[in-house]
Amino acid sequence: MRLPPRAAVRTTVRTVLAASALALLTGLAQAQQVRPEVGRPLQEAANLLKANRAKEALAKVRDADAAPNKTPAEQLTIERMRGAVAARAGDSATAIKAFEAVFNGSRAGSPEQAQAAEQLAFQYSQARDWNRTREWANRAKQLGGNSAELDKLLAFVNAQSGDFAQIAKDAQAAIEAAEKAGRRPDEADLLRLADALRRTGNNAGQAAVLDKLLALYPKKEYWSIVLGRIQSNPGFSQRLALDVLRLKRETKTLETAEDYVEMTQLALQDGQAAEARAVIDEGFARGVLGKGPEAERQKRLQALAVQRATEAPKALAEAEAEAAKDKDGNALVRIGLGYSGLGQHDKAVALIQQGIARGGLKRPQDATLHLGIAQMRAGQKPRAVQTLRGVSGTDGTADLARLWTRVQ
């Protein structure tokens, strides 16, 4: 969750300067207060700039500046062109001097003064003078500058200063403005806010922003971040470790040999042999397991999972017959999960529902979570989302249920 790199800011600078040069080309064609001895070399400079020959264009600007008895309007036109050409040529010192002349020579509070301030902000950023960059960017904002490029520059500068409270404030404002306008908030603004909240110790705020990121931009990298930290949340129960790994597998973020081995072992311990076999077979098929110093141990674990999974259909059928006699629904819920591991998701849904209806559950919220997961796997997403939204509690079940509703 980092801000855009300096290369992105350089790209933004080039975009702004190109727009500025285009405006100058148009302005020169319409200029009424420039004599031929000034206007002719400036037009030549504009043409050279358009052809990406900035250094030659700078020489033409100097020719225009050599004209005698220049009026203030002519000098201002020369400085406008000098700033644009020098910036394109990579001569920040000359560009800064020229844009300062434009700023000072323009009408106070005018759009041209705001544009000059913005250009100065970008030029100082090229020189990595972050204090001056911030100063001129803020002046541009005060004068009415509201371009997206300027906002991005301010965000970058604030990051350089380490003022993460201000970054959070700016990012939050951008997000709220987008939502108020009926637009999806920009991904970069959400990332900036999440990063700033983390750096200021606001873990709850960061978690809320990450949840919004998953809802709006459900990328694998965001799933990895959220699921990688969920078990460290206050009050999160470690009995839900297998459910975390289930969600990792569903979102394609089950990546390491350790994850595959742990999920296989936990599934076996929970009596979910078919699920254990599916997981470890996947690990071998992907080439994550079966190599390195742990290869033999992993093969033994796979053999155990295969043996128990082979026995699973008969064992589940017998357990289902026994569970029909139970007064509570705990066994039915567990058996339903077993059928889900076999890929019989519709039957899994029916059995878990029966278990919940029978009642007497040790952990009713876990049962509802598992019903929602089974419904999701059975292709019943609308029902699954409705079920998952009904999960409550502060031990992690509600957090997992909410995240399952984000699965695409």
Token pair 């100065």: residue: 120
What is the chain's mean pLDDT, rounded? 89
Please determine, for residue 148, whether its predicted confidence score (pLDDT) is greater than 90.
no
What stretches of 69-210 adopt beta strand conformation (E)?
Answer: none
Nearest Cα to Cα of residue 254 among 285, 294, 295: 285
Q: Strands, DSSP E only, in 262-340?
A: none
Q: How many Å separate Cα 254 from the centre of its chain?
A: 20
**pLDDT on residue 131:** 87
How far is Cα 88 from Cα 81, in angstroms, rounded to an integer? 11
Percent of the chain with pLDDT over 90: 70
Quickly list H helices, 230-272: 241-250, 257-269
Between CA 6 and CA 362 the distance in angstroms is: 55
Q: Residue 100 pLDDT more than 60?
A: yes
For residues 377 and 158, the model is more confident at: 377
- Report the range of poorest mean pLDDT among 227-231, 247-251, 254-258: 227-231
Q: To 10 degrees, what angle do helices 72-89 and 111-126 make? A: 30
Domains of the chain: 6-158 (1.25.40.10), 162-217 (no CATH), 239-404 (1.25.40.10)
Per-residue pLDDT tens digits for 334-390: 999 999 999 999 999 999 999 999 999 999 999 999 999 999 999 999 999 999 999
pLDDT for 256 beyond 90? yes
Residue 214 parent element (H or E): helix 203-216
What pLDDT was estimated at residue 6? 47
Model pLDDT, residue 255: 93
- Identify the CA nearest to 302 among candidates 268, 344, 341, 342: 268
Question: Is pLDDT of 43 > 80?
Answer: yes
pLDDT recorded at residue 358: 96
CB neighbours of residue 14 within 10 Å: 13
Do 47 and 71 contact (CB within 8 A), yes or no? no
pLDDT at 272: 95
**Residue 274 pLDDT greater than 60, yes or no:** yes
Between residues 29 and 363, which one has the greater pLDDT? 363
Residue 210: name the closest of 9, 200, 197 by CA. 197
The length of the chain in residues reads: 408
Cα gap 222→212, rounded to integer Å: 10
Distance between CA atoms of residues 106 and 100, nearest Å: 10
pLDDT of residue 232: 86
pLDDT of 376: 96
- Round to whole Å and give the CA distance between 171 and 393: 31
**Residue 297, number of CB atoms within 10 A of its CB:** 11
Give 393's pLDDT tier (boundaries 50, 70, 90): confident
Overall pTM surpassing 0.75 (yes/no): no
Q: ∠ CA 135-139-140 to the nearest 5 degrees?
A: 120
pLDDT class of 30 with cuts at 50, 70, 90: very low
Q: Among candidates 28, 105, 35, 106, which has minimal Cα distance to 68?
A: 35
User: Is 323 in contact with 332 (CB distance < 8 Å)?
Assistant: yes
Say whether pLDDT at 22 is over 60: no
Please write the tens of the pLDDT for every residue from 301-341: 999 999 999 999 999 999 999 998 999 999 999 999 999 99
Query: Which among 94, 74, 80, 93 is positioned nearest to 34, based on CA atoms?
Result: 74
**What number is the average pLDDT over the span 38-50?**
91
Of 182-196, 261-275, 357-371, minimum mean pLDDT range: 182-196
- Is the separation of the CB atoms in 261 and 298 below 8 Å? yes
Residue 178 reports pLDDT greater than 60: yes
